[in-house]
Amino acid sequence: QKEVEQDPGPLSVPEGAIVSLNCTYSNSAFQYFMWYRQYSRKGPELLMYTYSSGNKEDGRFTAQVDKSSKYISLFIRDSQPSDSATYLCAMSNTGANSKLTFGKGITLSVRP
Amino acid sequence: GAGVSQTPSNKVTEKGKYVELRCDPISGHTALYWYRQSLGQGPEFLIYFQGTGAADDSGLPNDRFFAVRPEGSVSTLKIQRTERGDSAMYLCASSLQQNTGELFFGEGSRLTVL
């Protein structure tokens, strides 16, 4: 079993839909939780960062962390075609800018 | 440029050859990371530098892989006796030392071993 499991894809939704992306993990030492977005042929870019449990909102994006269940989520409201990309969850026990363990990613396609 | 620069963007080599991949981080970033991403997978950690020294090299798969950062800026990932299984995208990232939560990734070097 991998340390970080991410829901398999791909995922296709119509424009304007609410998207829910999820990851589970097994390492209870993880304290730092991130979502990265990766466009085709590009490097990942940080979308959301949360320390420990709780919610964080940034525009159309909301990140949730439930450490008791070892479960994290990313919600995208009013999805746009420009949101079409691969979404990677990432976690660390030593710091958000140190060694990260990534999920395998889920490819999202938002249809106009 | 302002971002992390990686060269070459594509490298095709034959099994058994030696390869060097270069990373030029964002100016002023003291931390530098190498990750490897296979098709359909998330990035896997290889090594992390703080300044000139390797702070964590636990992700290097075997002794064919080596990385240096002699002056605390540019880094080179070196792969000896390449194998077909080494084919992947090699991503470099840099960050400020403080815990800002953000790694800035380059566009990667795609390595293909024939």
Q: What is the pLDDT of residues A96-105, one digit of tens each?
A: 667 899 999 9
List C-alpha distances in Å: A86 to A17, A98, B54, B96.
17, 22, 30, 25
Closest Cα partner for A89 from A71, A109, A76?
A: A71
Minimum Cα–Cα distance from B50: chain A residue: A98
Q: How far is A34 from chain B (nearest CA, A)?
A: 8
What is the reported pLDDT for B100?
58
Quick one: closest CA in B to A8, which residue? B40
Mean pLDDT of chain B: 93
CA distances from A4 to A25, A88, A90, A110, B86 (A): 4, 11, 8, 25, 22
Cα Rg of chain A, angstroms: 13
pLDDT tens-digit series, residues B45-88 = 999 998 899 888 999 999 999 999 999 899 999 999 999 999 99
Q: Are B9 and B23 in contact (CB under 8 A)?
A: no
Contact across the interface for B56 and A104, Cβ inside 8 Å:
no
Is pLDDT of B101 > 80?
no
Distances (CA, A) of B48 to B63, B68, B93: 16, 10, 9
- CB-closest option in A44, A98, A104 to B40: A104
Instruction: Inspect the interface and report whether the beta carbons of A103 and B95 lie closer than 8 Å.
Output: no
Q: How confident is the model at residue A54 (pLDDT cuts 50, 70, 90)?
A: confident
A112 touches chain B (CB under 8 A): no
